[in-house]
C-alpha cells in the first residue's frame, strides 16, 4: 500500500529513502547499486524495498468502509 | 576493562568498538540496557480532528508512532517519573499538530512542533497520500519512553560478537578459501593465506574458511573480548546510546543496593 516507516525485522527507519529508490528504478537504475547507495545493508531492509508496490493512489479512489 | 574504538560513522549513524576484559554477562547487560532502557522521544497519542484519507485513523496513528524524533533528554522526564504523575505537562510531553489537504503527499516534516529540539529525524518520511478533496488534521502527543514497552522508543540496534581468533595451519587451497569468504578478509600472497584483521571485524560470514580449508583454518572465539556494533535510528547519537545505557544500568544497581541495605 504505502512504504512502511520502518523495516519489519530490524526496525531501521526506511520510508524516507523510498522516493529516491523509486526514482532511481524508474530511470533504469540497478536495484543492487541503488540499495547499496541508500545504505540498506541488511537483507531484511532490502527485502522491504524489493517487494514493495505503491497502491495507495489506487486504493484511495474507493470509499473507506 | 578496556575500550578501543574501531570505527565511527556520523553520516551512517554507526559506531563499533572493542570491549576487552569483560564477560558475556556484562556485555549482554549493556546491550539490553541500550535496546530497552535508554529513553527516546516518540509519538504516543494521536487525536484526529479530520481524516478523509484512504487510511483508517489507526493506520496513520501507527505510522506516526514509528516516526523517529530527535530527543532532548535534558528537558523531558518520563511521564511516570514526572511531577504531574503521568497526566501530561510541558516537562513530560510535547504536542505537535499537522494540517494538510489534498492533492498532497503528507510528510513527517509537516508536524509542527513548538520545541525546535524535538522534530522528526527524517522529515521526508511519507505519512499518507491525499487525493483531491481529502483532508487530514490531527494533534499528536510525543512522550519519552523505553524500548521495553514498545520498540518505537528503542534508540537503535546494538549487537556484539566474540573476538574471532583465526589460526591458519597447512593450507593447500588458499585461493579457494579467500574466495569463499567476504572480499578482503583473507589475502593470498605467493600461495600463502593471510588474515586482514580490520576487514575480519567488519564481516560476520568468514566461517566458510573452516569448511573450505578442511580444518586447516580454525576460527576460535575469545569470550573475554567483544566487538560491539551500534547503529542509531537517529534520536540519539551512538555514543549517547552507550553512555545512557551505562547510566541506566548504574541507576538500577544503585536502587538494588539501596534496597538490600534497607532489609
Ligand atoms: Zn531491516
Ligand atoms: Zn509531566
> What does the DSSP 8-state code read for residue B9?
E
With bands split at pLDDT 50, 70 and 90, how would you rate the model's confidence at B21?
A: very high
Q: Give me the residues of chain A with pLDDT under 70, please.
A: none
Q: Which pLDDT belongs to residue B118?
A: 94
Q: Which pLDDT belongs to residue A31?
A: 96
Query: Considering the domain boundaries, does residue B249 fall inside one?
Result: no
Q: Which pLDDT belongs to residue B93?
A: 93
pLDDT single digits (tens) B66-110: 999 999 899 999 999 999 988 889 899 999 999 999 899 999 999
Determine the distance in angstroms separating the CA of B188 from the nearest CA of chain A, rounded to an integer.
Answer: 27
User: Chain A partners of B55 at a C-beta cutoff of 8 Å?
Assistant: 2, 56
Residue B145 and residue B44 share a domain: yes
Residue B141 and residue B72 share a domain: yes
Query: Nearest bound ligand to CA B94?
Result: 2
Q: Which of residues 21-50 of B touch A (CB under 8 A)?
A: none
- Which of A16, A7, A64, A29 lies closest to B156, judged by CA? A7
Mean pLDDT of chain B: 92
Residue B99 and residue B70 share a domain: yes
Q: Which pLDDT belongs to residue B96?
A: 95
Contact B56 A59 (CB under 8 A): no
Residue B144 and residue B50 share a domain: yes
Among B153, B168, B198, the domain boundary falls at B153
With bands split at pLDDT 50, 70 and 90, how would you rate the model's confidence at B251?
A: very high
Query: Considering the domain boundaries, does residue B125 fall inside one?
Result: yes
Q: Which pLDDT belongs to residue B181?
A: 87
Query: Considering the domain boundaries, does residue B252 fall inside one?
Result: no
Residue B78 and residue B130 share a domain: yes
CA distances from B77 to B41, B56, B85, B93, B163 (A): 10, 31, 11, 8, 38
Helix (H/G/I), strand (E/B), else coil: B140: strand
Q: Which pLDDT belongs to residue B203?
A: 82
Provide mean pLDDT across the span B224-232: 95
pLDDT single digits (tens) B119-139: 999 999 999 999 999 999 999
- Supply the range of the domain harboring residue B67: 39-153
Tell me, what's the ipTM? 0.92
CATH number of the domain that residue B91 is part of:
2.170.120.12
Nearest 10 degrees: Cα torsion A38, B61, B140, B94: -60
Provide mean pLDDT across the span B168-178: 87
Distance from C-alpha of A47 to C-alpha of A65, rounded to nearest angstrom: 31
- Which of B70, B208, B192, B214 lies closest to B142, judged by CA? B70
Residue B134 and residue B48 share a domain: yes
- Which of B153, B136, B131, B125 lies closest to B63, judged by CA? B125
SS (H, E, C) chain A: CCCCCECCCCCCECHHHHHHHHHHHHCCCCHHHHHHHCCCCCHHHHHHHHCCCCCHHHHCCCCCC
Domain count, chain B: 2
By residue count, chain B amounts to 263
Query: Considering the domain boundaries, does residue B115 fall inside one?
Result: yes
Query: Considering the domain boundaries, does residue B65 fall inside one?
Result: yes
Contact B66 A5 (CB under 8 A): yes
Predicted confidence (pLDDT) at residue B206 exceeds the cutoff of 80: no
CATH number of the domain that residue B175 is part of:
3.30.1360.10
User: Where do the structural domains in chain A lie, given as residue ranges?
Assistant: 15-60
With bands split at pLDDT 50, 70 and 90, how would you rate the model's confidence at B198?
A: confident
- Which of B164, B244, B224, B202 lies closest to B15, judged by CA? B202
Amino acid at each position: 500500500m504505502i512504504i512502511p516507516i520502518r523495516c519489519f525485522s530490524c526496525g531501521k527507519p526506511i520510508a524516507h529513502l523510498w522516493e529516491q529508490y523509486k526514482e532511481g528504478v524508474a530511470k533504469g537504475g540497478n536495484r543492487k547499486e541503488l540499495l547499496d547507495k541508500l545504505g540498506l545493508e541488511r537483507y531484511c531492509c532490502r527485502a522491504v524495498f524489493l517487494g514493495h508496490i505503491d497502491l495507495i493512489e489506487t486504493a484511495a479512489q474507493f470509499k473507506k468502509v | 576493562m578496556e575500550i578501543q574504538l574501531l570505527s565511527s560513522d556520523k553520516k551512517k549513524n554507526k559506531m563499533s568498538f572493542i570491549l576487552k576484559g569483560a564477560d558475556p554477562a556484562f556485555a549482554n547487560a549493556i546491550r539490553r540496557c541500550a535496546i530497552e532502557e535508554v529513553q527516546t522521544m516518540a509519538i504516543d497519542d494521536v487525536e484526529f480532528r479530520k481524516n478523509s484519507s484512504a487510511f483508517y485513523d489507526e493506520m496513520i496513528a501507527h505510522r506516526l508512532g514509528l516516526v523517529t524524533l530527535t530527543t532532548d533528554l535534558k528537558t523531558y522526564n518520563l511521564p511516570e517519573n514526572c511531577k504531574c504523575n503521568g497526566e501530561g505537562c510541558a516537562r513530560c510531553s510535547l504536542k505537535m499538530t499537522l494540517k494538510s489537504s489534498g492533492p498532497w503527499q503528507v510528510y513527517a516534516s509537516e508536524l509542527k512542533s513548538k520545541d525546535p529540539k524535538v522534530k522528526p529525524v527524517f522529515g521526508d518520511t511519507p505519512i499518507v497520500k491525499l487525493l483531491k478533496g481529502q483532508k487530514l488534521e490531527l494533534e499528536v502527543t510525543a512522550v519519552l519512553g523505553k524500548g521495553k514497552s514498545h520498540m518505537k522508543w528503542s534508540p537503535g540496534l546494538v549487537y556484539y560478537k566474540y573476538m574471532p581468533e583465526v589460526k591458519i595451519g597447512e593450507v593447500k587451497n588458499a585461493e579457494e578459501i579467500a574466495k569463499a569468504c567476504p572480499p578482503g578478509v583473507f589475502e593470498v600472497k605467493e600461495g600463502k593465506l593471510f588474515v586482514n584483521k580490520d576487514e575480519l571485524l567488519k564481516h560476520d560470514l568468514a566461517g566458510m574458511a573452516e569448511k573450505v580449508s578442511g580444518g586447516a583454518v580454525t576460527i576460535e572465539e575469545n569470550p573475554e573480548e567483544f566487538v560491539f556494533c551500534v547503529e542509531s535510528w537517529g534520536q540519539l547519537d551512538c555514543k549517547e546510546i552507550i553512555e545512557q545505557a551505562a547510566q541506566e544500568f548504574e541507576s538500577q544497581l544503585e536502587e538494588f543496593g539501596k534496597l538490600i541495605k534497607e532489609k
